[in-house]
Structure formats: structure tokens, C-alpha cells
Amino acid sequence: MRWLVLLKPAIAVSTAAVFRRLTPTDYTSGVHTQTVYRVLQVKGEPNPEDLHNGLERGVLECYPEVAQARAAMLTAGATLVRLSGSGPTLFAPFSDLTRAAQVRDSLRTQGYEVYLTRAIYPNVGDIDIL
């Protein structure tokens, strides 16, 4: 996961509305967070499948524009798309720069605000997860 395609739908998302949509099924045990943390501790690259966002379901349900943008990213060639924070920005991880650029270019031709950036992994030695 060296490259990230970021797509920002042209809407605003109410963080309060998104948090009101949370249900117990949106929460996880924390196992994915712990897995990502352990990988970062040894300066590895996390598995994109371990990246989860409990707010994603609510955003996709409340904001069809975000769901449509997610579908556009998948159609353009992303294999995994996740919500960043409380939205509306979405990201798709890529290991191949050429493929990431193709997806970015495809989304730009559809009129989306989209960026391609490199993933940076911090030194997490001083971070404690409780």
C-alpha cells in the first residue's frame, strides 16, 4: 500500500449526523487496529484489509453522493475503498503507481476532485494503544 488515491465528493458531511447513525454493529473488537499498530511498529506496511472505519456505513447511507463516488472508484479499478475520518473523502490504496494513476485519471475525467499521494508510515515507537 504505497500509493493512495483520494477522492473528495463535492458535498459537506455533518459529523454529528454521522455519529448519530452509529449502532453497536459498527464497532469492532479493535483487533484490526492492533494488527495495523503491530505492523507499523516494525516499520511494515499494513494490509489494506485491516483498515476499517465504523463511520463508513452511516455516511454511505446518509449521503448517496459518497456512495456514488465509492462506486465510481471501484468501477475505475480500485479494489478497496475506505472512508477517511467522518467523510466525505474516500481513499483507495494501491501498491502499483501506474495503476493508481490510471484510476486517478479516470476519476478526473468524470469530474471528481481526486489526488494521488504516497503513503507515509510514521515511527510509532512512542505510541501506546490501550
Residue 28: its pLDDT value, please?
A: 79
pLDDT at residue number 52: 80
- Looking at residue 130, what is its pLDDT? 42
Task: Delineate the domains of the chain, giving CATH numbers in brackets.
Answer: 3-118 (3.30.70.890)
Q: What's the pLDDT score for residue 123?
A: 62
13 within 8 A of 66, measured Cβ to Cβ: yes
pLDDT value at position 125?
Answer: 53
pLDDT of res. 42: 73
* pLDDT tens-digit readout, 81-104: 999 999 999 999 999 999 999 999
Q: Nine-digit cell at 20?
A: 448519530
What 3-state DSSP class applies to 119? Answer: coil
Amino acid (one-letter) located at 35: T
With a cut of 50, which residues of the chain have pLDDT below it? 127-130
DSSP-assigned beta bridge partners for residue 90: 7, 83
